[in-house]
Amino acid sequence: MTHEILTPAHRLRPGGRAVLSRLKLWHRRWHSRRALRRLPPERLKDIGLSEAQRRAELARPPWR
């Protein structure tokens, strides 16, 4: 017998799902920018970013 595990997101109203989705997006951006902040200059070059581009990305708030 298979049991489906329901997360709290499954019990949210449509507007609540949209809010949760937006929060998850912001969290992913925060996490990505945190990783970007930690990259040494040689790794930035490997991914094709300049130091100025990194600073510009890190200056952005999570909702952008």
**Buried b / exposed e along 14-35 (16+ C-beta atoms within 10 A):** eeeeeeeeeeeeeeebeeebee
| 50-63 confidence digits (pLDDT tens) | 999 999 999 998 87
- Verdict on whether the full-model pTM lies above 0.75: no
| 29-42 confidence digits (pLDDT tens) | 999 999 999 999 99
> What is the percent of the chain where pLDDT is above 90?
59
How distant, in Å, are the alpha carbons of 1, 28, 31, 62 from that of 17? 29, 16, 21, 18
Distance separating alpha carbons of residues 54 and 37, to the nearest angstrom: 8
pLDDT at 33: 95
Q: How many CB atoms lie within 10 A of CB 60?
A: 10
